[in-house]
Amino acid sequence: MHTTIIITFGLILLALMLYIGERIGFSRQTLAYGFAALWLALTVINGAVGMVHGKQTLSTELMVGSAVFGVPVAAMVLFMVLSAEA
């Protein structure tokens, strides 16, 4: 359940960053790189907390962390490809 909540949070963060960032005037490419860096940092912090407080192993956190990081980033890539100006 925790993994689903974190992935949902990532998708909401992505939507907010793209919406607010475009309103402010940032390019989509800048927002995409910013989101990827921010989401990677938050995923690493989440994994570290899982290892320290949840007593999870590194291999478990790496598997879960790849899904937590991958789903929102895949959504971002899909959005960027589908909304590319031809």
Output the tens digit of pLDDT for each of the chain's 86 residues: 999 999 999 999 999 999 999 999 999 999 999 999 999 999 999 999 999 999 999 999 999 999 999 999 999 999 999 988 65
Look up residue 10 and give its DSSP letter. H
Contact criterion met (CB below 8 Å) for 49 and 43: no
| CA dist., res. 42 & res. 7, Å (int) | 11
CB burial of residue 53 (10 Å; 0-12, 13-18, 19+): exposed
Q: Is the pTM of this model over 0.85?
A: yes
Closest CA to 64 of 47, 81, 79, 42: 47
Q: Where are the domains of the chain?
A: 2-81
How many Cβ atoms sit within 10 Å of the Cβ of residue 16? Answer: 11
- Collapsing DSSP to helix, strand or coil, 58 comes out as helix
